[in-house]
A and B are shown apart, each in its own frame.
Chain A
Amino acid sequence: MDIFLQQVVNGLTLGSVYAIVALGYTMVYGIIQLINFAHGEVVMIGAMVAFSVITVLAGTAMPPLLVVLTGVACAVPVCMLVGYGMERLAYRPLRRAPRLAPLITAIGVSIILQHLALLVWSRNVMAFPQIIRAETYTVGGAAITNVQVAIVLLCVAIMGGLAFLVYRTRLGTAMRATAQNPQVAGLMGVDVNRVIAATFVIGAGLAAVAGVMVGTYYGIAQYTMGSILGLKAFAAAVLGGIGNIPGAMLGGVLLGVVEALGAGYIGDVTDMCRYSWLAGLVEERCRADGHFILFGSNYQDVFAFVVLILVLVLRPSGLLGERVGDRA
């Protein structure tokens, strides 16, 4: 099997989910310049709600696809409510406060949501019911499952739908106008508070879908799953240029591919037995099984943050980020 192609496929799958989550970060940042660190928890809540619904329905005679869709249909409104609630209760009262205040509040909201989930769903790692039979196709040396195909297609459809909403509808134009100059948007008749709330609700809906996809893909769900996923999606949003919607899509997919390729090759690259100039040092360890791997694929999570650091050092505005300050 071609490991390169395989990892690209895996990376695209994961990356398109990152993109969906990153959109939530970037839209909220674009409109109120807040990094909503609680966004990852909304993904987790989406996964958990879907987990509960799917577990209950899995025993019935319902067709598997319908069960999963019902799970999504329940997770989305719950997450939207959570998204609306956090904006209304936690962030709106701080709209005029210095930027640090809502940022710290976001961390607080994140902790609260995580522990609410702990109360509801316990601390156990839960097996996401695998009711959709995975079928594997081999394409050009890479194995692709029907779940992967479905995830990628769904993400592409969601991104297309969102792009249409933002760039072609009245609400979308109002969102962009509010992001660029909220005061003038208000003078034009835009209820800025409603537009900001709508942005949170849309982002939370996307997060819910992403949560179900992650749960289905990895087959597990836990109340802590949102933190690392949220941070990676944040890294993806920064990579693409925070506040930039196409940037979040690009950043998410790129980050997924980088991460998968990194995980696929890091073991080989850090196998000390490959390097003859090190032979004297590691001879003993290599004699046993021929490998002395410094970093295995369990270092997968490192790549997102290496990328984040590189972007912040080399190109803080991100790949598609605009120069800051061209507000007329």
Chain B
Amino acid sequence: MLLEVRGLEVHYGGIRAVKGVDLEVHAGELVCLIGANGAGKTSALRAICGLHARGGSVRYAGEPLEGRPVFELPRRGLVMVPEGRGVFPQLTVEENLAMGAFARTDADVGADIALRYQAFPRLRERRHQTAGTLSGGEQQMLAIARALMSRPKLLLLDEPSMGLAPLMVAKIFDIVREVAAQGVTILLVEQNARLALELADRGYVMESGAITLSGEAKALLADRKVREAYLGEGAG
């Protein structure tokens, strides 16, 4: 098991945002975590990375992540693309990509940047532009490409479709599918339940801080409760 989360808790002051979440991701899987706005998906993801204080336990590649600083994660193959993309707005596209490889010490970084440009020609065109001048979709591409620069085993994606036009959303999901096909394990947090479930192997449904449903993505897509609550299909 690549990622094993047991009894995850997140508190903001007196408010419990995540209430004992269990979640697992196996190597090679694409797992999605869906739920409404404010269900605690992002809090859970950030707590897994150690960006929030958390209760419960998180094991990655068989070892507990407790007490480990955030900056060690990419060295161990775990990278998160945060909500809102988190590109460095005043660094150029190329500098952003180079930052993605910060944890690496090998000499192939240049070759890897060339590979990213092959996959994302748009980024090559804009390589010397600062990232803040890119469109939202381009920034999302850059954020994913930058995360791939660390050669991750496990990629955590937080709402990659947020704020994007439908055409761009489809494009970003194509990219996620390709990345998964290359053998990267992915945990995808999404509000767009239909797209996420169509793409994923397995899914978890989160509701006010707790997991209420989980299972094969196909089964969830067919589930009546999921269809009513998240796929916009009325009862009957």
Contact = CB atoms under 8 A, between A and B. Distances in A.
Contacts of A170: 102
Contacts of B100: 188
A144 interface: no
A191 B71 contact: yes
B235 to A, nearest CB: 41
Contacts, number: 76
- Among B70, B72, B88, B89, the most chain A Cβ lie within 10 Å of the Cβ of B88
A186 B46 CA distance: 12
A190 B90 contact: no
Chain A CB within 10 Å — which of B51, B70, B98 has the most? B70
A188 B80 CA distance: 8
A181 interface: yes
Q: What is the interface residue range for chain A against chain B?
A: 20 to 34
Contact of A183 (B72, B86, B98): B86
B99 interface: yes
A183 B100 CA distance: 13
Residue of A186, A187, A191, A192 ringed by the most chain B CB atoms within 10 A: A187
Interface in B50-87: 51, 69-75, 79-80, 82, 84-87
A146 interface: no
A188 B49 CA distance: 12
Nearest to A186: B70
Interface residues of B, number: 31
Contact of B88 (A180, A186, A322): A180
A327 interface: yes
B145 to A, nearest CB: 13
Interface stretch (A73-81, A171-179, A267-275): A171-179
B75 A328 contact: no
A176 B91 contact: yes
Interface in A304-328: 322, 326-328
Contacts of A192: 71
Contact of B102 (A176, A183, A188, A322): A188
B201 interface: no
Contacts of A187: 49, 51, 70-71, 73-74, 79-80, 82, 86
A176 B90 contact: yes
B131 interface: yes
Contacts of B215: none
Interface of A: 170, 173-174, 176-177, 180-181, 183-192, 322, 326-328
